[in-house]
Amino acid sequence: MIRREIINKKTGEKLIMFEDADFEYEKPVKHYGDGFIVKQMVINGIPEDELNGKIKPTEKSKEIFIEAVNNWTEMLADFKKVQLPEELIKLFGTTKKNDQKNLLKNVVLNPDILMALLIKADELGYTLSQYKSEYSQKGLDLSKMPFAYEVQDDGSVKTFGNTKLSEGQLKQAIEHRKVKVAKFLDKGSEWHCFFATYKSFRGEETWLGEKQPHYHYISNSFGIERDEVVKQIKSEKYKLGNLPHIKLEDYGNQPDNQ
């Protein structure tokens, strides 16, 4: 996990950003649990020297840590109560491409179901890997970009740090940024990969005649080596053929009829 802290010297405002870097073959529950606890410790003010073990933690820091652990334990218990579609559970027991495609035809994901799926995979002995790629807009001068920025619900752009770009240029930079994120579940030679582009996350790719957020799926049963799939995820323009799409709800820009 990458952590960045940026302080506006004029206003004193602090921005803390967390980003999951690429990782491989980790236990899903431990990975997300450790990440959650560290974020809570940072956000609630435990000093850097204590986090790095350079000095002993204060009683206050110990309380923050215990509360973070308890919060994760409660959250994990809630995720385990999420009802997983039977098709997703059966996916782990299939070895044929067509069977996997048929199982996924009517499956609908949301953030809670996805997390519950990773927890179930952990229980079944799978490890989790994540790979990400990002390509900025062609011709964009990165030196003119602010430290951080995001488009608000009202369409305005919130920035942190100075920038020489207009709001319209920043929106364009966001819209033309190419990002892919892939999660692999591995168990021996068997693997399942769920991946999405930021455009598919945001519902900017047309699928089934509408702008519906979705994931893509591929596995070892599709006849493409795992290393090649990772290579394609890391490339600017991936080529993996016509893959199953999985509807994603409660995230991104959903169609108007939702």
pLDDT tens, N- to C-terminus, the chain (258 residues): 555 555 555 666 555 555 778 999 999 999 999 999 999 998 888 888 888 888 999 999 999 999 999 999 999 999 999 999 999 999 999 999 999 999 999 999 999 999 999 999 999 999 999 999 988 766 666 556 555 555 555 666 666 666 666 767 676 666 667 889 999 999 999 999 999 988 777 667 777 677 788 999 999 999 999 999 999 999 988 999 999 999 999 876 777 655
pLDDT in the model for residue 17: 56
Give kind and range of the element (H or E) at residue 121: helix 111-123
Looking at the fold, whether 64 and 183 belong to one and the same domain comes out as no
Residues 12 and 29: their CA atoms lie apart, in Å, by 36
Strand partners, 182: 131, 195
Looking at the fold, whether 102 and 214 belong to one and the same domain comes out as yes
Dihedral angle sign, alpha carbons of residues 118, 120, 122, 127? negative
Looking at the fold, whether 181 and 170 belong to one and the same domain comes out as no
Helix axes 111-123, 28-43, angle to 10 degrees: 130
Looking at the fold, whether 117 and 231 belong to one and the same domain comes out as yes
Output the pTM of the full model: 0.83
Residues 35 and 79: their CA atoms lie apart, in Å, by 16
pLDDT in the model for residue 246: 94
pLDDT per position as a tens digit, 202-231: 667 777 677 788 999 999 999 999 999 999
Q: Which of 65, 81, 97 is the last residue of a domain?
A: 81
86 token code pair = 């039977």
Instruction: Give yes or no for a contact between 130 and 181, defined as CB atoms under 8 angstroms apart.
Output: yes
pLDDT in the model for residue 145: 59
Domain total in the chain? 3
pLDDT in the model for residue 250: 85
Looking at the fold, whether 74 and 197 belong to one and the same domain comes out as no
Least Cα distance to 142 among 124, 182, 108, 169 occurs for 169
Looking at the fold, whether 122 and 150 belong to one and the same domain comes out as no
Domain with 43, as residue range(s), is: 1-18+27-81
Amino acid 117 reads L
Residues in the chain: 258
pLDDT per position as a tens digit, 80-100: 999 999 999 999 999 999 999
Dihedral angle sign, alpha carbons of residues 246, 84, 70, 1? negative
Looking at the fold, whether 184 and 257 belong to one and the same domain comes out as yes
Looking at the fold, whether 245 and 126 belong to one and the same domain comes out as yes
**Beta-strand relationship, 14-19 and 108-109:** unpaired
Looking at the fold, whether 76 and 33 belong to one and the same domain comes out as yes
